[in-house]
Amino acid sequence: MNYCDISVGQKASLTKTFTDEDVRKFAEVSLDVNPLHLDDEYAKTTIFGKRIAHGVLTCGLISAVLANKLPGQGTIYLGQEVRFSAPVYLGDTITAECTVTEKRDDKKIIKLDTVCTNQDGKVVVSGVATVKHD
């Protein structure tokens, strides 16, 4: 998709169910081995009562939408404001949706509202992404 083909209000999304394997692989790659993500017994003692996925792993779905769908191939991620509003538990199905809110034609910069919701429609992550796309 070319910059000129992108319009304010345009949306794209994708959905993924987070598994134990996803969380363990992310922990291995990121080095974030917080027992809240990896240890069932420890997680039972926390406010969540069970293991949760890494917040940044959930944000990865936003990156996937930006890179693969809107704006798509060639997108350069410049920044992300993010708010974690609810936990993502193993087995949750998360939908990341990005909506174009602003375009800056002189630099080909695009701002998008970003939101991740779980299978019950509850917002788990929200924010604003800033990208460049030629």
> What mean pLDDT is reported for the chain?
97
What pLDDT does residue 117 have?
Answer: 98
Q: In whole angstroms, what separates CA 4 from the centre of its chain?
A: 25
Give the H/E segment covering residue 37.
helix 35-38
What pLDDT does residue 80 have?
Answer: 97
User: Residues 46-68: pLDDT tens digits?
Assistant: 999 999 999 999 999 999 999 99
State the pLDDT confidence band at 6, using cuts at 50, 70 and 90.
very high
pTM surpassing 0.85? yes
**Rounded CA separation 109/115 (Å):** 19
